Structure 1
Amino acid sequence: MNIKLILNRYKYFLIGFTICIIIYVFNKNLGLSIFNSTKLNILQMLSILPPVMILLGLLDVWVPRQYFIKYMGCDSGFVGILLSFLIAFFAAGPMYAAFPFTAVLIKKGVKFSNIIIFLNAWCVTKFSTLLFEVGALGYEFTLVRLIIDIPGVIVMGYAVDYLVNVKNDTLSR
């Protein structure tokens, strides 16, 4: 493999790593703190991503594409929106775990607006997050936030879908 291609592929990692080494040279405590934090983040990702990948592989094999198209595809309407919210609501894990799932949704023919709704709902309507929020901030705050966020997530999903389709139509002319 070409060294130039490898350097180009990993340039941001290499730049970040170089900056961390420079910081370590000038401030050993801060440098060690950066490397320890990075190590903990990598270990956390390695504990979450393998089970997610296994579940996604099973989902990809067990659930036929036509079901996704029927219930979350272009003609899914309210059902597609509801399923996008429900899948995100019961999801577990940090946001980076949603991206492999999103790749499966794209592969299965899910409507783009439903994918955007799923990603946004993952951030703002997860059950585990809501439980924490109710305990920390109260149910009134959580309820008001959901009343604002749920329509906002739907509007954002359709707005992004529209903008992407307009751009694609413009590029294909």
Structure 2
Amino acid sequence: MIEKLTYLIKRYAFFLISLEILLIIYLFHPAIAIKTFESASSSFIQMLVVLPPIMILLGLIDVWVARETLMKYMGNDSGIIGIFLAMAIGSIAAGPMYAAFPFTAVLIKKGVKFSNVIIFMNAWCVTKISTLLFEISALGYKFTIARLIIDIPGVIIMGYLVYHLMGKDELTKLYDSYYEI
């Protein structure tokens, strides 16, 4: 029982410390604490609206797309096709960045090359079509195209840089932990 409690405290330490800080702020500045709580509550509700459809979609992808298929097109021997697919999937994605993390877990579970996983995550952040359309309307197409010319190679370089900086043991441990699930 004590081990389980210790595990829960360690796992939720950041949340518990944040809650304690919020309570201390409440003692000295109740208005700031209430505003902070309202903002956090709003973000939490937004997350609850976004995540369930994404989880359903991920469940369907997990069942419908065979591991061998993803490994063929995005695995270790995928080459430029894997890079293109990672960029394309990340670019057509919808939703906030935190929605990419469950999808990333599915990619790792299916054996996608780690550099392609990182490329996917970076593409989700910087080349998402919905964001590009807003950027064109707000900053103009010249700026958007110039940024893309810089960002697309940067996304690919970052994917391979992170892949090579990760030790083989760390990558093996990461992939093995997902295969056990």
Q: How far off its partner does 1:24 sit?
A: 1.2
Give 5+ residue unaligned stretches, structure 1: none
TM-score, length-normalised on structure 1? Answer: 0.94
**Aligned alpha-carbon RMSD (Å):** 1.5
Between the aligned partners of 1:11 and 1:86, the Cα distance in structure 2 is: 37
Between the aligned partners of 2:48 and 2:162, the Cα distance in structure 1 is: 31
Between the aligned partners of 1:136 and 1:165, the Cα distance in structure 2 is: 41
- Tell me the percent identity: 60
Between the aligned partners of 2:58 and 2:158, the Cα distance in structure 1 is: 26
1:36-92 Cα shifts (integer Å, max 9, x gaps): 001000000000001000000000000101110000000101100000011011100
Count how many residue pairs are aligned between Structure 1 and Structure 2. Answer: 170
The answer for the alignment partner of 1:36 in structure 2 is 38
- One-letter code of the match for 1:97? A
Between the aligned partners of 1:168 and 1:42, the Cα distance in structure 2 is: 32
Between the aligned partners of 1:6 and 1:63, the Cα distance in structure 2 is: 35
Q: 2:136 aligns with which of 129, 134, 137?
A: 134
Give 5+ residue unaligned stretches, structure 2: 172-181
Residues 168 and 104 of structure 1, relative CA distance in 2, 3 Å threshold: closer
Q: 2:105 aligns with which of 98, 103, 106?
A: 103
Q: 1:46 aligns with which of 45, 48, 52?
A: 48
- One-letter code of the match for 2:164? Y
Between the aligned partners of 2:40 and 2:103, the Cα distance in structure 1 is: 24
2:166 partner SS = helix
1:45 partner SS = helix
Q: 1:75 aligns with which of 77, 83, 96?
A: 77
Between the aligned partners of 1:167 and 1:62, the Cα distance in structure 2 is: 30
The answer for the alignment partner of 1:24 in structure 2 is 26
Between the aligned partners of 2:168 and 2:107, the Cα distance in structure 1 is: 22
Matches of residues 145-164 of structure 1 in structure 2 within 5 Å?
145-164=147-166
Between the aligned partners of 1:76 and 1:122, the Cα distance in structure 2 is: 20
Between the aligned partners of 1:98 and 1:168, the Cα distance in structure 2 is: 21
